[in-house]
Chain A
Amino acid sequence: MALETSPAESRRVRKQKAKPSSLGIGRRHNLLAYGMLAPALIGLSIFVIWPLIRAIYLCFYEWNFYKSNRFVGWRNFTNVLKDDEFWNSVIRGFRFTCMVVPVMLIIAFIFGALARSVGAKLSGFLKAIIYIPTVISGVVASLVFQMIYQYPGGIANWLVGVFGVEAQGWLADTKLALAALTLPTIWVGIGLTALIMLSAMNDVPESYYEAAKLDGAGWFRQQRYITLPQMKNIFLYLVVTGFTANMQALEIPMVMTDGGPAKSTLVPNLYIFQHFRFDATKGFSMAAAFILFLVMGGISILIFRLLQSEKAVDV
């Protein structure tokens, strides 16, 4: 979901505001506006802003649901920072993301190129097909892929058996489990990424390709010199959103492996969630959530800088 107003749009808004009108378009409608906003503002205040304020406050306390709170300063934060398990989970989440996002982008790119090169009917069919897994819940996806990974009778083992590889305990092997979780994650997540990629590809002016064709550029060179540079911003967007979404993966790891075996799939949010559920006092898990937020924000900015700086063509 786009988070910022695009420049074109804010320009449009400003234009609307500036337009003088006899109908009082610039006039203020305080009562009506706040009346109609009330349900949304109240909802967000009670269920988002108020919990956020309390979370910031309670991070500095040792507390649980039954006992009165005790102020402990930054201790919850230092405890998290000192906990190797936390950093291990962050690194694990980062590894998971690095496995998921590139594969997803490549598949989405192939999908986009394919959907563009076929007729309208088939392209419509492809778009409908690719989005199907997106409507399926993380729980169901987890259950199905658990079946697929069954040892020894699952499809995954049958498939690798065709290539002469012996059966693996995909979800029971500490070396394989995290990688095995990427498949359901990509399966559920590919729909949106692919459709965004496709619409971005459609936005590249057709005349560029025609000019390239006249110059004798083949498909690969067209992608290399036109599509990729033109879609720089979309890639940046998909990398950053893909990164933040997958760093926060919870449902699939929780249902498929619950962090196991031997914590090999204990991703950051699952680590926080387990602390939240099983710790006697709750300040630690909230401090961990805030630290994760900062780490993620930092890495997002870093990705942004890295990808933005090697800009070859101005978009």
Chain B
Amino acid sequence: MAQSLRGTTGKGPRVWGLVAFKLLLVAGFVVATVFPLLWMAVCGLKEKNEVTRTPFKFFPEVFKWENYKQILDDPAFIRSIGITFTVAILFALGSLVVNSMAAYVFARLEFIFKRVAWVVVIGTMFIPWMTILLTSFLVVSELHLVNKIWVLILPAMASAGQIFFIRQFYLGIPSSLEEAALIDGASRFQVFLRIFVPMSKGIFVVSGMSVFLAGWNTYVWAVITMSDPKMYVIQQYLTQFRGERTTELGLLMAAATLSVIPVLILYFIFQRQIVQGARLSGFK
């Protein structure tokens, strides 16, 4: 640990002071990022009055696992998780298919009005969603999508941001790879399926995960379009729970904790790719 902390900085008597300072900073970052989640999980184990009791104590007097059990026994919770999971999976898969195809076309093919199409696609990124929130709702209600899971999937599936991101990656693939296949008589579409898609594993993980997360965490759009309590997504379940059972803070925290476990598991599985992708999506 100390070895690692010291890194590439020089030697000398000041080194240990520096190491201690860095260690303090590292601890600060760990506590600041992880503590709220830990606190949420621990509060989920508390009696309802214990959560807000003064003086404040970190650990509960008795670990009340019943909170978690009670939430898991709530059919509304299970239903919300099921709906949200279905939405997020279909959203991510659909987005990958639609946007990777578009990204390939913009990266590799020449066609009529290419520039116009590109400007239109990229232009959609600059439209603040608040300006079209209302008319988007008009459109989905005219298409009879309200209170159906598709209303959370279809509208944001085609995404200029994702097209741009995947295209960046495709532009970096050397064209010599596909030239061999083209000489062998493969079509442009086959090149996409046989060369680009297999090479896209990493980028698909990054893109798919960010879309999955967006689907899992969606709230405001769901508030507008999923008005039927039977169709509530998990975020709506949480705010509704808070509204109806205001004093049950222990239970609420248990529900919130359970709602983040799936995304945390996914995050830790794909952590390396996601962190890499976050940096790529930023500026370059």
Residues of chain A at the chain B interface (Cβ within 8 Å): 1-3, 6, 9, 12-13, 16-17, 21, 23, 25-30, 32-34, 36-37, 39-44, 46-52, 54-55, 58, 65, 110-111, 114, 117-122, 126-141, 143-145, 147-148, 150, 152-155, 157-158, 187, 190-192, 195-196, 198-200, 234, 237, 248, 250-251, 254-255, 269, 272-273, 276, 282, 285-286, 289-290, 292-293, 296
Contacts and interface: CB of A to CB of B under 8 A. Distances in A.
Given A29-B188, A200-B283, A131 B275 contact: yes
B138 A199 contact: no
Contact of B128 (A28, A42, A199, A248): A248
B20 interface: no
A269 B220 CA distance: 11
A3 to B, nearest CB: 6
Nearest to B192: A36
Interface string B101-145: 110110001111010010011101111101111111011100000
A118 B219 contact: no
Interface string B50-63: 01111110000000
Interface stretch (B5-13, B64-72, B73-81, B198-206): B5-13
Given A145-B36, A196-B279, A41 B117 contact: yes
5 contacts: A39-B157, A48-B136, A54-B138, A137-B217, A254-B220
Contacts of A36: 101-102, 104-105, 109, 189, 192
B33 A132 contact: yes
The 7 A-B pairs with the shortest beta carbon distances in the complex, nearest first, are: A43-B158, A153-B52, A119-B4, A137-B217, A196-B282, A33-B111, A51-B135
Nearest to B249: A147
Given A43-B98, A129-B29, A292-B130, A6 B284 contact: yes
A154 to B, nearest CB: 7
A162 to B, nearest CB: 10
Given A29-B109, A117-B9, A254-B220, A137 B235 contact: yes
A282 B158 contact: no
Interface in B1-45: 1, 3-9, 22, 25-26, 29-30, 32-34, 36-37, 39-40, 43
B132 A55 contact: yes
Contacts of B267: 131-132, 135
B255 to A, nearest CB: 9
Contacts of B140: 47
Contacts of A6: 284
A128 to B, nearest CB: 5
A37 B33 contact: no
Interface string B139-182: 11000000000000011111011011100100100010001001
Given A117-B7, A130-B29, 20 more contacts: A1-B164, A1-B282, A12-B171, A47-B156, A47-B158, A128-B271, A128-B275, A134-B278, A135-B213, A140-B238, A154-B56, A191-B278, A196-B278, A199-B279, A237-B283, A250-B220, A273-B220, A289-B133, A292-B128, A296-B128
Contacts of B5: 118-119, 122
Contacts of B179: 21, 23
B282 to A, nearest CB: 4
Contacts of B86: none
A144 B160 CA distance: 33
Given A128-B275, A152-B54, A293-B131, A26 B110 contact: yes
A288 to B, nearest CB: 9
Contacts of A23: 179, 182-183
B92 interface: no
B134 A132 contact: no
A139 B122 contact: no
Contact of A122 (B26, B33, B263): B26
B148 to A, nearest CB: 15
A285 B98 CA distance: 32
B247 interface: no
Contacts of A16: 175
Contacts of B138: 51, 54, 65
A30 B158 CA distance: 20
A144 B98 contact: no
Given A273-B220, A286-B134, A290-B131, A39 B158 contact: yes
A109 B34 CA distance: 20
Contacts of A152: 52, 54
A195 B282 contact: yes
B195 interface: no
Given A23-B182, A51-B136, A290-B131, A44 B7 contact: no
B157 to A, nearest CB: 6
